[in-house]
Structure 1
C-alpha cells in the first residue's frame, strides 16, 4: 500500500513538472532569439524583441481561467511533495527534500521574476518614468533596467526555471533507480538466505 501511495505521489510531482517544461518549451523560440541568436544584419534584432514583447503581453492578457489552471497545477506538485514527505524514509528525505527545494526555487522565480516582468511588459513601464527606450543613452538613471534588458531577464528566468525543473525530474528518476536497485538487492539477499535455509534443512534430513 505504501509503495502504491509513493508511486501516486511521484506521479503528482512528475506530471506538473513536465507540464511546466512544455509551457517553457513553447516560449523557447522567443527566448532563444533574444538571448543567444545574433541576427544578420544586427539592426534586425529589434524584430525579436518586439515578437517576445507581443507574446508576453498576449500571455498576460489571457483569461483568468488560464492562471487558475496554472496555480492548480503548481499546488498539485506541492501536494505530491507533501504526500511523499509525510513520515519520510531516508531516501525520501534525500531525493524528495532536494526536489522540493528545487521546486520551491522555481516557484520563487515564477513569482518574483516572471509575474512581475509580465506586469512591467504589459504596462510598458521600462526604466524611469515608464520609458520604453532600450539603451537609456543620455540618461542619468543608469541603474534602471531598460526594455531590452527587461525582456532578457524574463527570457533568462524561463531558462533558469527550465533547468530547475529538469533537476526535479533527474532527482525523481534517481530516486526511482535507487529504489529499484535496493529492491533487487533485497530480493537477491532473500533468495540467497532461502537457498542456505533449504541447504541446512536437506543436510539435517540426511
Structure 2
C-alpha cells in the first residue's frame, strides 16, 4: 500500500511540473519579442523591434486583473508543491529537492525584480541610465534566464518522478516474485503433508485389518 508520505511527494512533483510548464507557456508566447530584442541586429530595424516589444509588454498591464491573479495563483500552487516535497524528503534525493525549491525561488525573484519592474518602466517610459532598447533587452534576457531555470526544474522533477516510478515497479515485481515463491513452497508443503497423512492412514488401516484377521 502506498504510504501517505509517498502520495504527498508524488502529488508535489506533479504540482511543481504543472506550475513550471504553465510559466514556460507564458514565456513561449513572449519568445518572438524576446528573440527579436536579443538578436535584433540580425533581424532588422531596432526601433521597430523595440516598439513592437514595448506595446506587447505594456499591454500586460492593461489586461483584466483576474489574469495576473491567476498567474500568481499558479506561483503559489508551485510553492505548495515544493513545500510538500521538502517536508520530509528521502535522504538520497533531499539535495535535489532543496536545490529545486531554491531554483524556483530564484526564477520568481528574477521575474519580480527584472521582468515585472521592467514592464512598469516600459509603461512609464523611464529607463534610468540606459536607453529604451537596452532596457527592453534586459527584460528579454531575464525571460531567457527564467526559461532555462524552469526547464532545468522540469527535467529534474521529471527525472525524480520517473526514478520513483521505476523504483516502485521493481519493488512490486520483487515482492510479487517473493509471494509466488512462498505460495509455491506452501503448496508443496501441503501436498507433502497430505501424502504423508494418506500413507499413515493406509498403514493404519492395513494394521487394523491384519489384527482383525488374526482374531478370527
TM > 0.5 fold call: yes
In the alignment, which of 152, 156, 162 is matched to residue 177 of structure 1?
A: 162
Residue 201 of structure 2 corresponds to none
Aligned residue pairs, count: 188
Larger gyration radius, structure 1 or structure 2: 2
Greater fraction helix: 2
- Distance in 1 of aligned mates of 2:92 and 2:32: 38
Corresponding residue for residue 141 of structure 1 = none
TM-score, reference length from structure 2: 0.76
Q: TM-score, normalised by structure 1?
A: 0.79
Retained in 2: the 8 A contact 1:84–1:92? no
* Alignment gaps of 5+ in structure 2: 193-216
Residue 117 of structure 2 corresponds to 116
Matching residue within 21, 40, 51 for 1:18 = 21
State the distance in 2 between where 1:15 and 1:205 align.
55
Of stretches 83-92 and 163-172 in structure 1, the one that deviates more from structure 2 is: 83-92
Deviations 1:143-195 (A, max 9, x none): x2221111110001111111111111111111111112212332343345446
Counterparts of 1:22-171 in structure 2, within 5 Å, are 22-39=25-42, 42=44, 44-91=45-92, 93-127=94-128, 144-171=129-156
Unaligned runs of 5+ in 1: 128-143
SS for the counterpart of 1:125 is: coil
C-alpha RMSD of matched pairs (Å): 2.4
Quote how far apart the aligned CAs of 1:122 are. 0.8
Residue deviations 1:35-66 (CA, integer Å, cap 9, x gap): 124346x5x22111110011111112333322
In 2, Cα distance between the equivalents of 1:47 and 1:77?
A: 37
**Cα drift, residue 93 of structure 1:** 1.8
Tell me how far 1:196 sits from its aligned partner: 5.4
Deviates more, 1:70-79 or 1:3-12: 3-12
The CA deviation at 1:199 is: 6.8
Q: State how far apart, in whole Å, the 2-side matches of 1:4 and 1:126 are.
A: 48
